Structure 1
Amino acid sequence: MNNIKKIISASMLIIFALAFSGCNMIEKTPEAKQKSAVAKVNGDKITRKELDENPQIASFFKQMEAQYGKDFAKNEQGKEVVKEQKGKALDQMIMERILLQKAEELKVAPKDDELNKKVDEEYNKLKKEQFKGDDKKLEEAFKAQGITKEYYKEFTKKSIIVQKLVDKITKDVKVTEADIKKDYDANKSDYTEKPNTMDISHILVKTEDEAKKVKARLDKKEDFAKVAKEVSQDPGSKEKGGSLGTVQYNDQQLDPTFLNAAKALKEGQISAPVKTQFGYHIIKVTKKKEYPVKKYEKVKEDIKKKLEQKKKEEVYTKKLDEWKKASTIKKYDKNLMD
């Protein structure tokens, strides 16, 4: 469920919203602006005050001011950047509001006493494990993040509610023995005693025609590193002769298509052009280190958990999309800016 929790955290991160609405012919007071709406979700208003107090937005302003000065938002370019950031925050808040509304509709939220108890437990656990029970140090950490104790507790409360909702909609997810065995047989390199590794170099170009020309040069025994320095368009590896160093077979930072093409190569072999989202690659593997595959029974439970998590994420994402489409959402973008 770790990835689902990340999705939840992303949806829940923006707890406060920003709003500024009303008659354009009358200038509202700051207090009135804070109470006005930037969005309504099934009739439920999201106010400007909520977003103005959002730590993520506060952090954004602090970073921009440090880099460009306090007047950074006064020019048109600065205003556009601010509006974009607030728009993204508002979109996440809308999703959060939908989740909370659905949790209320399905009656999955714990009773107030139970919920408050769980929140206090999470707070005390954080204080004990991360700050050795020191309230002052915890408060300082909150302040550094631009949040308060009250914000943390409210965030935790909503996170607990949403997790209950996720548990409900994913409770029927099942993974069969056949599913587990199929994954094991198809991905044995993921289940080795130690991670398999390979030393990779590549040359990146924009078009297939360019890639074919590069491959032709290499087929004529031109030095790979020399050609990479001349034509590769990957700034991170170009000056290293195309070298990406040693990577694991299941490296999550690399494009899956690129990685699968590299795994299929033998030591010293150079690939045909490989297309990814970045362009066309010519890949060379200079060294591989592979380890024995673990016995099926040894990794069976881990695979089961992985597949359950993946299926739950799919169910959650599909439901979230359904709920969003079924919701009545009104946004007042003109109220995002003063």
Structure 2
Amino acid sequence: MKSAKQIATALLVGMFTFSAVGCSMVEKRPEAINSKVVATIYGNQTITRGEIDKLAKGTVEQLKSQYGDSYEKNEEAVAALKKQKEQILTSLIDQKIFLKKAKDQKITLTKDEIKTNVDDVYAQYQQEFKTESEFKSQLSQYGYTVAEFKDQLKNRAISNKLIQQVVKDVKVSDDEAKKYYDSHKNSYTQSPNTVHLAHILVKTEKEAKAVKARIDKGEDFATVAKQVSTDGSKEKGGDLGDIQENDSNYDKTFMAAALKLNDNQVSAPVHTQFGWHVIKCIKKTEYPVKDFNSVKDDIKQTVLSTKQKSVYQKTLKKWESQANIDKNEKNLM
């Protein structure tokens, strides 16, 4: 058995042996990794790797459950983690900017606002779990203590109060609402307009053109769909049933092409993220448009939200340009 002196000597020899690459060896220690600066804001506020890793704990656990403990060897898993860390970094940067601006403008929370936005919200989250202990365990998985989570709720409330200050002067006129109504009448029908569609999905444009040629020559759409389509609807001859015109569950490019078709018309090949489609419009069902005055208030709220979002984004972009943000994203991973 080696003596304590022999072990200590071996460790010292090891240190001198790796002296040429000593910096990289030190960096692999957890405390060294955690202290790596990923971004600096305003020249003196930093965001470290440790802060980001702490908030990415939930994502890491999800990746482990999906890819196993060796998820770091999977390119898809690493890419997903990197993307999540980038989003966390952006959130932390924006939070620091918001809190500084709020402090500059002397924006704080009243006791009632703290109760509503911190205590009550915390209680609502906790009610989703069987016990407080289970909730705290979940918080821990996502990198929070109870105090830290409440701080985040408080920071979010302060940020929201700041945003309200930024957008408080945004208004919507009746003329703006009418202009929006005139260009979005299909969104204000007495019942949602629908279109009955069928499609054939294939991998390549060449295959899609061959499908279209067969149909143009008179072959039955449903029969061709059953023979060549790669979509799950093939057994029904590609029939997708009635779809609401504004259904966001369908690819935008797909729906844009489908809505241009008349009853019983078949499209040219359409390319989406899923492959190449040949689409058939079986029947459109359209309903009368509601009177403008009956939907004016709803439209004003829709347009107001859009305008407020635009003002907010422009203001945030301006603040970011003033924040002297210096990112070192190689330290993310």
Return the TM-score normalized by structure 2.
0.76
Contact 2:264 / 2:283 at 8 angstroms: preserved in 1?
A: yes
CA distance 1:323–1:208, shift in 2 (3 Å): farther
CA distance 1:317–1:276, shift in 2 (3 Å): farther
Unaligned runs of 5+ in 2: 1-21
CA distance 1:66–1:150, shift in 2 (3 Å): same
Distance, in Å, in 2 between the alignment partners of 1:191 and 1:313 is 22
**2:237 aligns to what?**
241
**1:218 aligns to what?**
215
**2:134 aligns to what?**
140
**1:69 aligns to what?**
68
Contact 1:108 / 1:165 at 8 angstroms: preserved in 2?
A: no
Distance, in Å, in 2 between the alignment partners of 1:196 and 1:76 is 45
The 5-angstrom pairing of residues 1-338 of structure 1 reads 24=23, 27=26, 30-31=30-31, 33-43=33-43, 44-54=45-55, 57-73=56-72, 75=73, 77=75, 80-81=78-79, 82-105=81-104, 107=105, 109-110=107-108, 114=110, 117-126=112-121, 137-138=131-132, 140-145=134-139, 146=141, 147-204=144-201, 211-232=208-229, 235-274=231-270, 281-337=277-333
Distance, in Å, in 2 between the alignment partners of 1:208 and 1:26 is 52
Equivalent position SS for 1:262 = helix
Contact 1:269 / 1:284 at 8 angstroms: preserved in 2?
A: yes
CA distance 1:119–1:262, shift in 2 (3 Å): same
Report the CA distance between 1:220 and its aligned residue: 2.2
Equivalent position SS for 2:113 = helix
Distance, in Å, in 2 between the alignment partners of 1:274 and 1:52 is 42
CA distance 1:322–1:130, shift in 2 (3 Å): closer
**1:13 aligns to what?**
none
Calculate percent identity across the aligned residue pairs. 41
Return the TM-score normalized by structure 1.
0.75
Contact 1:202 / 1:283 at 8 angstroms: preserved in 2?
A: yes
Which structure has the larger Rg? 2
RMSD of aligned residue pairs (Cα, Å): 3.4
Contact 1:139 / 1:149 at 8 angstroms: preserved in 2?
A: no
CA distance 1:58–1:239, shift in 2 (3 Å): farther
Contact 2:39 / 2:325 at 8 angstroms: preserved in 1?
A: yes
Distance, in Å, in 2 between the alignment partners of 1:76 and 1:210 is 33
Equivalent position SS for 1:53 = helix
| Cα deviation 1:98-124 (Å, max 9, x = unaligned) | 33333334x16225xx1x542332344
Distance, in Å, in 2 between the alignment partners of 1:131 and 1:38 is 32
Contact 2:226 / 2:236 at 8 angstroms: preserved in 1?
A: yes
Contact 1:211 / 1:273 at 8 angstroms: preserved in 2?
A: yes
Equivalent position SS for 2:282 = strand
Distance, in Å, in 2 between the alignment partners of 1:188 and 1:125 is 40
